[in-house]
């Protein structure tokens, strides 16, 4: 091979001057354009900046926790509303039962009051009838002669004890029970009577309450089983040892109408 043969060179090829000038011109034109644009703008213009914030992991956790808490609160409120509705329904049922019971009780009480009033009306009518009979009897009895003889002694003794106290089993002289007073009064006429009221009312003969005479023995209950006795003193009145509250008193027959009467004199 000839020494003068062409051997490729490994050096970087040099750019031609024309290419360098062309590149320099382009760059200069670009810089000139930028300079002109800057000069054309307002002298006091401020650069425009805009910041875009991106959510962080911490803010996402906070939002998630708030959402969970809101959901839990809503569920709790719904449960409370349901419980309140159940309680309100139970209260309404209880009130309805109470009202029904109160109505039944009021009706029962009203019925009892009506029955009691009817009973009182019957008793009042009965007492009115009895008083009318007694008034008629007293008017007819006003013509009865005053007690004389033994009857007068019995009546006088009985009236003398009015105001003494009543003591069960007592036979005087300052306290009496009903049969003790009758026994002591008849003793003034020389007549011995049994001690108890049932035996006293079994003595003598039975007489009508429309035909009483002073000295007759009045009794309450059955004749052989009387529980109380007193002495008829005339004028529609009797004297008796009634009870511990009243003691020995003189009362009208309409005060406590006797069951019957016996005459021993």
Name 217's Cβ contacts closer than 8 Å, sequence gap at least 6. 182, 200, 201, 203, 204, 229, 230, 231, 232, 261, 262, 263, 264
Report the alpha-carbon distance of residue 130 to residue 117 in Å, rounded: 20
33 token code pair: 């354009």
Q: Is residue 236 part of a domain?
A: yes
Instruction: Note whether 158 and 135 are same-domain residues.
Output: no
> Token match 């109505």: residue?
103
**pLDDT-derived band at 118, boundaries 50, 70, 90:** confident
To the question of pTM greater than 0.85 for the whole model, the response is no
E strands, 98-168, in order: 165-166
Q: What's the mean pLDDT in 136-143?
A: 44
At 194-225, the pLDDT tens digits run: 999 999 999 999 999 999 999 999 999 999 89
| Range(s) of the domain holding residue 201 | 149-263
At 231-249, the pLDDT tens digits run: 999 999 999 999 999 999 9
Secondary structure letter of residue 171 according to DSSP: B
Number of domains in the chain: 2
Of 110, 143, 176, which marks where a domain is finished? 143
Instruction: Note whether 211 and 250 are same-domain residues.
Output: yes
Closest CA to 260 of 246, 237, 224: 224
Instruction: Note whether 167 and 257 are same-domain residues.
Output: yes
The predicted pLDDT at position 50 comes to 53
More confident residue, 54 or 134: 54
Q: Is residue 24 part of a domain?
A: no
Whether the predicted pLDDT of 45 surpasses 60 = no
Q: Is residue 103 part of a domain?
A: yes
Instruction: Note whether 216 and 239 are same-domain residues.
Output: yes
Instruction: Note whether 224 and 127 are same-domain residues.
Output: no
Instruction: Note whether 126 and 183 are same-domain residues.
Output: no
Instruction: Note whether 223 and 252 are same-domain residues.
Output: yes
> Token match 């609160």: residue?
73
Report the alpha-carbon distance of residue 95 to residue 110 in Å, rounded: 22
Whether the predicted pLDDT of 39 surpasses 50 = no
Q: What is the mean pLDDT of the chain?
A: 79
């Amino acid at each position: 091979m000839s020494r003068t043969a062409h051997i490729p060179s490994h050096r970087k090829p040099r750019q031609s001057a024309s290419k360098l000038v062309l590149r320099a011109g382009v760059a200069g034109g670009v810089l000139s354009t930028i300079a002109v644009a800057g000069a054309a703008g307002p002298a006091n213009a401020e650069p425009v900046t805009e910041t875009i914030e991106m959510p962080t992991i911490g803010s996402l956790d906070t939002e998630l926790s708030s959402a969970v808490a809101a959901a839990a609160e809503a569920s709790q409120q719904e449960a409370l509303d349901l419980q309140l509705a159940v309680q309100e329904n139970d209260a309404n049922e209880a009130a309805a039962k109470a009202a029904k019971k109160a109505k039944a009780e009021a009706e029962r009480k009203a019925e009892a009051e009506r029955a009691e009033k009817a009973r009182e009306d019957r008793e009042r009518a009965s007492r009115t009838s009895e008083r009318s009979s007694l008034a008629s009897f007293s008017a007819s009895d006003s013509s009865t002669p005053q007690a004389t003889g033994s009857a007068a002694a019995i009546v006088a003794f009985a009236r003398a004890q009015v105001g003494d106290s009543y003591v069960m089993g007592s036979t005087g002289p300052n306290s009496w029970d009903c049969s003790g007073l009758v026994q002591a009064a008849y003793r003034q006429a020389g007549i011995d009577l049994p001690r108890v009221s049932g035996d006293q009312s079994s003595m003598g003969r039975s007489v009508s309450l429309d035909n009483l005479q002073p000295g007759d023995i009045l009794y309450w209950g059955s004749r052989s089983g009387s529980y109380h006795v007193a002495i008829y003193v005339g004028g529609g009145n009797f004297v008796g040892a009634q009870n511990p509250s009243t003691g020995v008193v003189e009362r009208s027959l309409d005060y406590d109408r006797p069951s019957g009467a016996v005459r021993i004199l």
